[in-house]
Amino acid sequence: MDRGLVDVVRRFNRTVTQRVGALDDSYLARDRPLAQSRLLWEIGPAGAEVAALRTRLDLDAGYLSRLLRTLEGEGLVAVGPGEGDGRVRTARLTDAGRAEWGLLDGRSDDLAWSVLEPLSAGQRARLTSAMAEVERLLMASLVTIGPCHPGDPRARACLRAYARELAGRFDAGFDPAGSGVEDNELIPPAGLFLVATVSTEAVGCGAVRLPADEPAEIKRLWVSGTVRGLGVGRRLLDELERHAAAAGAGSVRLDTNRSLTEAMRLYRSAGYQEVPRYNTNPYAHHWFAKPLT
Amino acid sequence: MDRGLVDVVRRFNRTVTQRVGALDDSYLARDRPLAQSRLLWEIGPAGAEVAALRTRLDLDAGYLSRLLRTLEGEGLVAVGPGEGDGRVRTARLTDAGRAEWGLLDGRSDDLAWSVLEPLSAGQRARLTSAMAEVERLLMASLVTIGPCHPGDPRARACLRAYARELAGRFDAGFDPAGSGVEDNELIPPAGLFLVATVSTEAVGCGAVRLPADEPAEIKRLWVSGTVRGLGVGRRLLDELERHAAAAGAGSVRLDTNRSLTEAMRLYRSAGYQEVPRYNTNPYAHHWFAKPLT
DNA sequence: AGGAATACCTGACTATAGTCAGTCATCATG
DNA sequence: CATGATGACTGACTATAGTCAGGTATTCCT
């Protein structure tokens, strides 16, 4: 624990959070209680499912319901049935609600501008790029990695995104049906499936197979675009290797497609060496292996 | 109003403020209501005057008093008479309070470390430097400049700091007594005194004399170390020149000591040219003037 | 088809935050 | 040494946030 760095983070938390945060709240709440304003804001012009609002704002179901009734009473929101599932209801802004939302949106712009306005052009550029950097790296530090059943909704979401991306990037497209790995090969003790999440959203995954008679094999390493370049892939890979080593594997291998250049860069920098073809995966062009200590 | 920059600031406010702020609060409040924790924290091991706490936390006097009674009731705080003014009371932590404060301090460290811990060394360095940059520039944008009576406590505080600094930097020391400018020369319409403040703290000042028979003269331009390098001096100077021009001055001049190199750099970059000695100020080595449009 | 789970709702609460008017001691000022 | 200002305190409030135990309709699972 580095005192100097910790102090910078503490100072930052203190000043930025309190000054900017308090300002932000006071701008959002106009006459209305803050919780109502936040909810109105979160519903947005496109509307939102009540369930989504609950998780996004982290509110008690009863409390949220009551807040929605109040906003309905003021004629700002209408809660109606959703599209598919008949239990899920959707909150939409009325015309008056949309007008109010627009007002909040404008105030939010004003607040942001009031931060930039006193600064010179050069300072504005430095401030915004530093803000973007803080945001990205804070995002990186909020990524948590943990084991997960491959049938879990978070895992499913990752695998869907993974397949969609491969389909878009491979010259020959990609058909997930023939990927040749069963879910139960990725459940301990046969293997392990990891997801990387930010709060509740899954932003990456990776798996390792641990067959009894062959080397361990990394499968389905994927990182969402929102956190790419932040070391999440490396953390997933490290964790999978650690697990394989703990399970007694002496080495680990993997295959990849020639269009996945960042992935190959990652493997090389993580100590993988290219090896001859060891399987018949039609989508693979390169095979890598790494000894485990 | 630049949309792209405004959007960056809005995103930053939204994500960083809310995520970090919420985390920070939840770490600070342990069993105890947040307001109590904040107060306990703010009192600190050194103790604090009740009046200072009120302005720092921006609390209602009655509410603060009640909070102090609660903390006293829990044996964490003792409120006693202060040093000088018998009306002002001082809150001090008891031994138990100090222990509790230490706990909060430790939790604050833990929280900061939990942000850094998942990152690589390079990322940590980048994050903390970006945080420091955001903090400094945000500070710069929080600086407000306005006119002020030279007898105002904020002005007095600045002038004291100014004199202290000059005394430290001038080869021959500095005696504020013989500075030769009366307060009433710096009050409209004879002149103007400006202070730069961050919330309630004065961080800079500057004045202009507008004698009937001579050019306008800039006096007492000073910027606190906490905001130096953030363009506050430039903003003060601009504002003073604008005022002088509006009052009909055709040019403005000033003198300075050879040890004040940043100030001279500022004057030159603001369009001032060195001119021959125009007064007998014993502390001055350089004289500058600038025509006003 | 029947039971478990899910999404939302209502009623009845409690806790926390914050406000306001009025009181009392102390201090600065003429 | 009266007068007004200031700092802290108390009592009596209100508003906001949040919790919890049911209850109903819908969907999922087998």
- CB-CB under 8 Å, A142 with B126: no
pLDDT of amino acid B32: 92
Nearest CA in chain A to B114: A141
- CB-CB under 8 Å, B124 with A2: yes
| Three-class SS state of A111 | helix
Spell out which residues of chain A touch residue B2, defining contact as CB-CB under 8 Å: 116, 124
| Bigger pLDDT: A23 vs B54 | B54
| Bigger pLDDT: B155 vs A71 | A71
Place of tokens 């090389």: A268
Alpha-carbon span B205 to B152, nearest angstrom: 12
| Three-class SS state of B10 | helix
Place of tokens 């932040």: A230
DSSP structure class, residue B53: H
Alpha-carbon span A187 to A193, nearest angstrom: 7
Q: How confident is the model at residue A206 (pLDDT cuts 50, 70, 90)?
A: very high
| Bigger pLDDT: A189 vs A48 | A48
Task: Write out residues whose CB is closer than 7 A to strand D.
Answer: A 33-36, 59-63, 66, 85-87; B 49-51, 54, 61-62, 64-66, 68-69, 79, 85, 87-89
Are the C-beta atoms of B44 and B75 separated by less than 8 Å? no
Provide Rg for chain A, Cα atoms: 24
What CATH number does the domain located at A142-291 have? 3.40.630.30
Using CA atoms of B63, B65, B69, B75 in order, give the dihedral in degrees to the nearest 10.
110
Tokens, residue A248: 């007694």
Alpha-carbon span B106 to B127, nearest angstrom: 21
Alpha-carbon span A266 to A288, nearest angstrom: 11
CA of A263 to C1' of C12 (A): 57
First to last CA, chain A: 27
Count residue pairs from A and B with Cβ separation < 8 A: 175
Alpha-carbon span A231 to A223, nearest angstrom: 10
Q: Residue B28: phi, psi to the nearest 5? A: -75, -45
Neighbours of B190 (CB within 10 A): 16
Task: Write out residues whose CB is closer than 7 A to strand C.
Answer: A 49-51, 54, 61-62, 64-66, 68-69, 79, 85, 87-89; B 33-36, 59-63, 66, 85-87
Provide Rg for chain B, Cα atoms: 24
Question: Is the Cα dihedral A123, B116, A195, A271 positive or negative?
Answer: positive
Taking residues B54-76, what's their average pLDDT? 94
Minimum mean pLDDT among A103-107, B38-42, B170-174: which range?
Answer: B170-174
| Bigger pLDDT: A282 vs B172 | A282
Say which of B7, B116, B120 has its CB closest to residue A231: B120
Residues A220-254 have pLDDT tens digits of 999 998 899 899 999 999 999 999 999 888 899 99
Residues B250-264 have pLDDT tens digits of 899 999 998 889 999
Residues A260-280 have pLDDT tens digits of 899 999 999 999 999 999 988
Residues B194-236 have pLDDT tens digits of 999 887 788 999 999 998 888 899 999 999 988 998 999 999 9
First to last CA, chain B: 27
CA B250 to chain centre: 32
Q: Which nucleotides of D are covered by protein (CB under 7 A)?
A: 6-12, 15-22, 25-28
Place of tokens 């040093």: B83
Provide the angle, in degrees to the nearest 10, between the axes of the packed helices A61-73 and A34-43.
80
- CB-CB under 8 Å, B20 with A231: no
Say which of A12, A115, A139 has its CB closest to residue B141: A115
pLDDT of amino acid A87: 87
- Amino acid found at A118: P
Alpha-carbon span A173 to A161, nearest angstrom: 14
Q: Which nucleotides of C are covered by protein (CB under 7 A)?
A: 6-12, 15-22, 25-28
Query: What residues contact B290, with CB distance under 8 A and at least 6 apart?
Result: B241, B251, B252, B253, B267, B270, B271, B272, B273
Q: How confident is the model at residue A176 (pLDDT cuts 50, 70, 90)?
A: low
Q: Give the helix/strand (H/E) hosting A242.
A: helix A232-246
Are the C-beta atoms of B256 and B263 separated by less than 8 Å? yes
Neighbours of A104 (CB within 10 A): 18
Say which of B15, B24, B119 has its CB closest to residue A140: B119
- Amino acid found at A107: R
Q: Nearest nt to B88, CA vs C1'?
A: D7
Query: What residues contact A45, with CB distance under 8 A and at least 6 apart?
Result: A93, A98, A101
Q: Which fold has domain A3-118?
A: Arc Repressor Mutant, subunit A (1.10.10)
CA distances from A129 to A72, A124, A132, A140 (A): 40, 9, 5, 17
Provide the angle, in degrees to the nearest 10, between the axes of the packed helices A95-116 and A34-43.
100
- Amino acid found at B14: R
- Amino acid found at A130: A
- Amino acid found at A243: H
- CB-CB under 8 Å, B231 with A109: no
Place of tokens 């604090």: B48
Alpha helix stretches (DSSP H) within chain B: 3-12, 18-28, 34-43, 50-57, 61-73, 95-116, 121-142, 153-169, 232-246, 261-269
Alpha-carbon span A290 to A68, nearest angstrom: 56
CA distances from B120 to A163, A198, A232, B147, B268 (A): 29, 18, 11, 48, 44
Say which of B7, B21, B134 has its CB closest to residue A134: B134
Are the C-beta atoms of B161 and B176 separated by less than 8 Å? no
pLDDT of amino acid A179: 61
Question: Residue B151: pLDDT above 90?
Answer: no
Q: Domain segments of chain A: what residues?
A: 3-118, 142-291
Taking residues B51-73, what's their average pLDDT? 94
Tokens, residue A204: 């990456």
